[in-house]
């Protein structure tokens, strides 16, 4: 049986100069679950992801893995993978070379090769793909990593409706063994794919129950 893991951000404060972005935020991500984070533009979702990943330091509060303080989560092998908002995989590589670079074993390579897009573009230079194709390949790459946690910043943006339909079941199936935290402006897809939905508003995180919850907090009309 797979061990249960929990990644938490607790009492997180973050500011850029005079601009307070996050105040006393608590967020939890656990293996076996998808946590969806919603929020309007500029509310601090990417900032929070960077703090959990360890590439930004909060002014206050802490990040914990299984109740133990963790300073730079990205430095811990196999702990957390992070897909930033904009495609970040190096353009001069092929997906095949990328898998080798990431140390994927034969089983992982076989898993990702089951996707039509991966098979079709296995040896294509990443720079020769469309933004949507790059984004989908990157999401598939991270979702099949051996990390306990996967953070996906806007995985559905740039994707066509069909690509979104392809990605959703992968998110769900990979959450059987991983903890997935995702944020996206396609709120219906976030609601559909998440076990827990949170809204970041005015620097704080609020638990949300479906569309009505989003309406009552003014995220949608
Ligand atoms: N380097 C920076 N210097 C100053 N302010 C910044 C910097 N980066 C981001 N901000 C501000 O911090 C706030 C949070 O930004 P962040 O990118 O985390 O928001 P977001 O919720 O991810 O937005 P979006 O949905 O548009 O991607 C915004 O108001 C933004 O203007």
ipTM value: 0.98
Q: Which atom of ligand 1 is nearest to the CA of 39?
A: 21
CA atoms within 13 A on the CB side of 196: 17
pTM, two decimals, is 0.96
- In terms of C-beta density within 10 A (0-12 exposed, 13-18 middle, 19 or more buried), how is residue 151 classed? buried
Q: Is the C-beta atom of 184 inside 6 A of ligand 1? A: no
- Which among 132, 130, 136, 176 is positioned nearest to 152, based on CA atoms? 136
Q: Is the C-beta atom of 183 inside 6 A of ligand 1? A: no
Distance 43 CA to ligand 1 centre (A): 7
pLDDT value for 89? 84
* pLDDT exceeds 90 at position 159: yes
- Which among 179, 171, 217, 172 is positioned nearest to 198, based on CA atoms? 217
Distance 139 CA to ligand 1 centre (A): 22
Q: Name the residue of 15, 16, 40, 219 to mutate for ligand 1: max ligand atoms within 8 A of Cβ.
A: 16
Q: Which atom of ligand 1 is nearest to the CA of 47?
A: 18
pLDDT per residue as tens digits for the range 110-129: 999 999 999 999 999 999 99
Distance 114 CA to ligand 1 centre (A): 36
Residue 216: phi and psi, rounded to 5, are -70, -25
Q: Is the C-beta atom of 42 inside 6 A of ligand 1? A: yes
State mean pLDDT over 179-195. Answer: 97
* pLDDT exceeds 70 at position 202: yes
Q: Is the C-beta atom of 47 inside 6 A of ligand 1? A: yes
pLDDT value for 1? 59
pLDDT value for 86? 86
pLDDT per residue as tens digits for the range 24-55: 999 999 999 999 999 999 999 999 999 999 99
DSSP one-letter string for the chain: -PPP-EEEEEEEEEEETTEEEEEEEEEEEETT-EEEEE--TTSSHHHHHHHHHTSS--SEEEEEETTEE-S-GGGSTTTEEEE-SS--S-TTSBHHHHHHHTT--HHHHHHHHTSHHHHHTTTSBGGGS-HHHHHHHHHHHHHTSS-SEEEEESTTTT--HHHHHHHHHHHHHHTTTSEEEEE-S-HHHHHHH-SEEEEEETTEEEEE-HHHHHHHTTS--
Residues with Cβ within 8 Å of residue 159, at least 6 apart in sequence:
132, 135, 136, 167
Cβ neighbours, 10 Å, residue 162: 8
Residue located nearest, by CA, to atom 11 of ligand 1:
42
Confidence of residue 99 (pLDDT cuts 50, 70, 90): very high
Q: Is the C-beta atom of 86 inside 6 A of ligand 1? A: no
Distance 112 CA to ligand 1 centre (A): 33
CA atoms within 13 A on the CB side of 208: 29
* pLDDT exceeds 70 at position 140: yes
Cβ proximity of 99 and 83 under 8 Å? no
pLDDT value for 87? 79
State mean pLDDT over 86-102. Answer: 91
Q: Name the residue of 45, 53, 153 to mutate for ligand 1: max ligand atoms within 8 A of Cβ.
A: 45
């Amino acid at each position: 049986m797979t061990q249960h893991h929990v990644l938490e951000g607790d009492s997180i404060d973050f500011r850029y100069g005079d601009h307070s972005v996050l105040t006393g935020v608590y967020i939890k991500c656990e293996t076996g679950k998808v946590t969806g984070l919603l929020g309007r533009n500029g509310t601090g979702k990417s900032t929070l992801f960077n703090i959990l990943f360890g590439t930004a330091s909060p002014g206050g509060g802490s990040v914990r893995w299984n109740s133990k303080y963790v300073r730079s989560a990205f430095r811990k092998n196999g702990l957390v993978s992070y897909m930033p908002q904009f495609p970040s995989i190096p353009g001069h590589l092929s997906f095949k070379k990328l898998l080798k670079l990431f140390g994927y074993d034969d089983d992982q390579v076989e898993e990702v090769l089951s996707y039509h897009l991966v098979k079709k573009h296995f040896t294509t230079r990443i720079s020769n793909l469309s933004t949507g194709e790059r984004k989908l390949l990157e999401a598939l790459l991270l979702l099949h990593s051996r990390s306990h946690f996967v953070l996906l910043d806007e995985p559905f943006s740039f994707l066509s409706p069909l690509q979104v339909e392809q990605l959703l079941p992968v998110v769900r199936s990979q959450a059987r063994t991983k903890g997935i935290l995702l944020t996206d402006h396609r709120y219906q897809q976030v609601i559909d794919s998440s076990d827990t939905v949170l809204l970041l508003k005015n620097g704080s995180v609020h638990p949300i129950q479906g569309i009505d919850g989003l309406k009552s907090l003014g995220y949608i009309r």
